């Protein structure tokens, strides 16, 4: 099968279901989702909850995320927490604040646990200079147990426009073994419309450098639903992506929310693909990547068939969090820096989302926490079901309820009614009390998750989620 030969005709069933189940919903990088964290959450509650974690949890590996908010230029589509500036001196103050934050969190008594997963995101982590990248890794090594195990997951997001072979070599030397490259689309017209011009040849050069330095994994981020995209143009991008043979490919559905993200107002909404066109793009991506040796893992993520994520999905050890999909090697995650989110046991907390307020709190000797939530047993039960849907594409409400001492038929009475409706529509099928998403049902994964989301009706009025289709 050639890439260009893939059919773009949508079955009438899919079009009808897209109309029936159209709407907006969360992407479920967590449950409950982040808008439900409370601003009146106290640091004392956090410290108390950490201290009463089960003894065995204190011996479990740890995941550490560090947020670097700075970018040299604005990408119009971006919905990340970022600060756009070309003034490199901004990094000095930020690294100083991170150092103070690390000192504060020593009281959590989590720093003795081995860090098997480490991720730097942004913003643009490679906004930092070579010496600043080195300084940050040394700071983390002073406060946490960083491991050198070959199967560790130490990853960093890089902007191909800001990185050369020298930085690639440095990142390898610092201990990173995975790189995530922001591609989005190689089409020049699309790149100009989103203010992110980066030639294919530039990415090709960086991939060669990464391979030469023996990185364990390369990931590409793509976005469909961007201005001026169509099946023909995106086919060329996919051809170029496949030719570079990344180990993992994330294909995100663009969320156009100009009322929340001001930069998106620079995008002409009339140039955006409509719902039917997005479905065509989604189906096309799926057919092409599957035909090129990739497997779908959860929501929007494709990996090579022998990738550890594919194995984890088959072994039911895949996990999903604010950084996407990863191996279930760490039970808790610490988030450091402006707007970062931590998940520890039944806790979910977020740092200040405004940079100056983050600085104010840290530099005055306080923690950086802005809001948080202590999950109830109902939250944890529903979280397990929703994460099963996202990670395994199949789920058993009965099995999860049994773990929590509940009867699924009564606990999920209304939810199971909706499952049977989905089953009639061909989105799922049941197999020995396990619901399995069909090929068509995968387009509506978020809708299926929403069925078990008890928090949706409490979503603040100022929060608008992205379109499901």
Higher pLDDT, 431 or 427: 427
Rg (CA), the chain: 22
- Identify the helix (H) or strand (E) that includes residue 198: none
Can you give the pLDDT at residue 449?
Answer: 96
Nearest to 115 by CA among 68, 154, 165: 154
Going from the C-alpha of 419 to that of each of 81, 241, 342, the distances in angstroms are 36, 37, 32
pLDDT at 8 over 60: no
161 within 8 A of 198, measured Cβ to Cβ: yes
Backbone angles phi, psi at 5, to 5 degrees: -85, -5
Give the 3-state secondary structure of residue 172. Answer: helix
**Averaged pLDDT of the chain:** 91
Listed range (11-15, 318-322, 381-385) with the worst mean pLDDT = 11-15
Name the token pair of 458: 């409490």
Listed range (29-38, 41-50, 55-64, 119-128) with the worst mean pLDDT = 41-50
Q: What is the pLDDT of residues 249-293, one digit of tens each?
A: 999 999 999 988 999 999 999 999 998 899 899 989 999 999 999
Can you give the pLDDT at residue 4?
Answer: 38
d(CA 288, CA 222): 14
101 within 8 A of 368, measured Cβ to Cβ: yes
Which residue is listed with tokens 């469909």? 224
Can you give the pLDDT at residue 236?
Answer: 96
Angle between helices 12-20 and 275-291 (to 10 degrees): 130
Cα dihedral sign for 224, 225, 227, 229? Answer: positive
Q: What phi-psi label fits residue 214: left (phi over 0), alpha (psi between -120 and 50 degrees) or beta?
A: left
pLDDT at 7 over 60: no
Angle between helices 130-143 and 165-174 (to 10 degrees): 10
Which residue is listed with tokens 């072979």? 165
d(CA 285, CA 106): 45
Name the token pair of 238: 């996919």
Omega cis (within 30) before 41: no
Q: What is the pLDDT of residues 72-105, one digit of tens each?
A: 999 999 988 899 988 888 899 999 999 999 998 8
Q: What is the pLDDT of residues 324-359, one digit of tens each?
A: 888 877 778 999 999 999 988 889 999 999 999 999
Q: What is the pLDDT of residues 128-169, one digit of tens each?
A: 999 999 999 999 999 999 999 988 999 999 999 989 999 999
CATH topology for 35-374 is pyruvate-formate lyase- activating enzyme (3.80.30)
319 within 8 A of 326, measured Cβ to Cβ: yes
Q: What is the pLDDT of residues 196-233, one digit of tens each?
A: 999 999 999 999 999 999 999 999 999 999 999 999 99
Domain limits of the chain?
A: 18-23+376-467, 35-374
Q: Which residues pair with 145 in a beta bridge?
A: 114
Percentage, residues of the chain above pLDDT 70: 97
Can you give the pLDDT at residue 207?
Answer: 97
Residue 103 is classified by DSSP as: H
Residue 302 is classified by DSSP as: E
Can you give the pLDDT at residue 6?
Answer: 38
- Identify the helix (H) or strand (E) that includes residue 239: helix 231-244
Query: Residue 107: pLDDT band by 50, 70, 90 thresholds?
Result: low
Task: Report the Cα 380 to chain-centroid distance in Å.
Answer: 20
d(CA 99, CA 83): 20
Calculate mean pLDDT across residues 362-371: 93
Going from the C-alpha of 19 to that of each of 16, 23, 228, 275, the distances in angstroms are 5, 9, 23, 9
Can you give the pLDDT at residue 156?
Answer: 97
Can you give the pLDDT at residue 330?
Answer: 77
Can you give the pLDDT at residue 5?
Answer: 36
CATH topology for 18-23+376-467 is Arc Repressor Mutant, subunit A (1.10.10)
Q: What is the dihedral of CA 429, 25, 299, 176, to 10 degrees?
A: -150
Three-class secondary structure assignment of 8-34: CCCCHHHHHHHHHCCCEECCCCCCCCH
Nearest to 31 by CA among 458, 383, 342: 383
Listed range (256-265, 412-421, 448-457) with the worst mean pLDDT = 256-265
């Amino acid at each position: 099968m050639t890439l260009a030969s893939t059919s773009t005709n949508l079955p009438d069933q899919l079009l009808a279901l897209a109309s029936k189940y159209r709407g907006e919903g969360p992407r479920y990088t967590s449950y409950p989702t982040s808008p439900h964290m409370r601003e009146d959450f106290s640091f004392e509650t956090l410290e108390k909850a950490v201290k009463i974690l089960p003894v065995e949890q204190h011996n479990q590996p740890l995941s550490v995320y560090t947020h670097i908010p700075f970018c040299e230029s604005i990408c119009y589509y971006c919905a990340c927490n970022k600060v756009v500036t070309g003034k490199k001196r901004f990094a000095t103050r930020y690294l100083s604040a991170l150092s103070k934050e690390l000192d504060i969190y020593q009281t959590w008594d989590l720093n003795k646990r081995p860090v098997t997963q480490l991720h730097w995101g942004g913003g643009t982590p490679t906004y930092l200079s070579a010496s600043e990248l080195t300084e940050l890794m040394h700071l983390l090594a002073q406060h946490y147990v960083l491991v050198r195990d070959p199967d560790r997951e130490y990853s960093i997001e890089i902007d191909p426009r800001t990185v050369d072979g020298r930085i690639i070599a440095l990142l390898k030397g610092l201990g990173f073994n995975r790189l995530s490259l922001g591609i989005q689309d190689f089409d020049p017209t699309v790149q100009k419309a989103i203010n992110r011009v980066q030639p294919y040849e530039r990415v090709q050069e960086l991939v060669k450098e990464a391979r030469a330095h023996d990185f364990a994994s390369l990931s590409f981020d793509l976005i469909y639903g961007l201005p001026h995209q169509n099946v023909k143009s995106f086919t060329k991008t996919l051809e170029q992506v496949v030719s570079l043979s990344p180990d993992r490919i994330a294909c995100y559905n663009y969320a156009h929310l100009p009322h929340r993200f001001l930069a998106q107002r620079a995008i002409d909404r009339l140039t955006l693909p409509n719902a039917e066109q997005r479905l065509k793009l989604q189906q096309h991506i799926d057919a092409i990547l599957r035909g090129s040796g990739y497997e779908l893992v959860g929501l929007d993520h494709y990996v090579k068939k022998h990738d550890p994520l594919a194995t984890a999905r088959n072994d039911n050890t895949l996990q999903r969090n604010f950084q996407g999909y990863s191996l279930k090697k760490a039970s808790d995650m610490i988030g450091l820096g402006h707007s970062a989110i931590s998940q520890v046991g039944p806790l979910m907390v977020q740092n200040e989302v405004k940079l100056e307020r983050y600085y104010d709190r840290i530099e005055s000797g306080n923690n950086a926490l802005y809001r948080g939530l202590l999950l109830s047993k109902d939250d944890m039960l529903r979280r397990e079901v929703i994460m099963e849907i996202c990670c395994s594409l199949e789920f058993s409400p009965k099995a999860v309820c049994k773990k929590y001492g509940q009867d699924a038929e009564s606990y999920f009475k209304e939810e199971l009614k909706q499952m049977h409706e989905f089953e009639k529509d061909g989105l799922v099928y049941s197999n020995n009390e396990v619901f399995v998403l069909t090929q068509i049902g995968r387009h509506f994964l978020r809708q299926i998750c929403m069925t078990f989301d008890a928090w949706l009706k409490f979503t603040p009025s100022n929060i608008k989620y992205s379109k499901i289709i």
